[in-house]
Amino acid sequence: MKLLDFLKRERIVSHLEARDKEGALAELVDVLVADKSVKDRAGAVEVLLERERLGSTGIGEGIAIPHGKLKELDELVAVFGRSPEGLEFDSMDGAPVHLFFLLMAPENSASTHLKALARISRLLKDRAFREELIQAADQDELYAIIAREDERY
């Protein structure tokens, strides 16, 4: 499974405006609403917030991988967002989050959802990759960096 199978260039946000967890989740969902992947914005945000109540998807080292499942989806979709300043996300290590990979999956897609989470986690273990993402100038450069790493592994 490749990341670019479910992450399109248009779904990369180089500068999130949000300053808190709920705002970041809503801003990332808005990308999926804009490209018509998600119709029920409020429902999608609530699914993500429910998941966060179980435990933060802020996995540490400036990374969060919020995820949830929606009945309305036919396929796995992702959004990448970057907060150069970082924002509070109740991360496991208490550090601000800079890099967000939002995953939304169809309700009955357990294995695909888990494979996607594993793929993203594996890519983000590389400190140099994370630094490149933080330093990238814009959406095009972010996409190029992600595409290069996606091919490498």
Residues noted as catalytic? 67
Non-local CB neighbours of 104 within 8 Å, separated by 6+ positions: 29, 32, 37, 38, 44, 47, 67, 68, 69, 70, 73, 76, 77, 78
H runs (alpha helix) in the chain: 21-34, 41-54, 110-124, 127-135, 139-152
Radius of gyration of the chain (CA): 14
Break the chain down into helix, strand, coil percent, rounded to 5: 45, 20, 30
What number of residues does the chain have?
153
Structure tokens at 100: 């967000």
Quote the distance between the C-alpha of residue 124 and its chain's center. 12
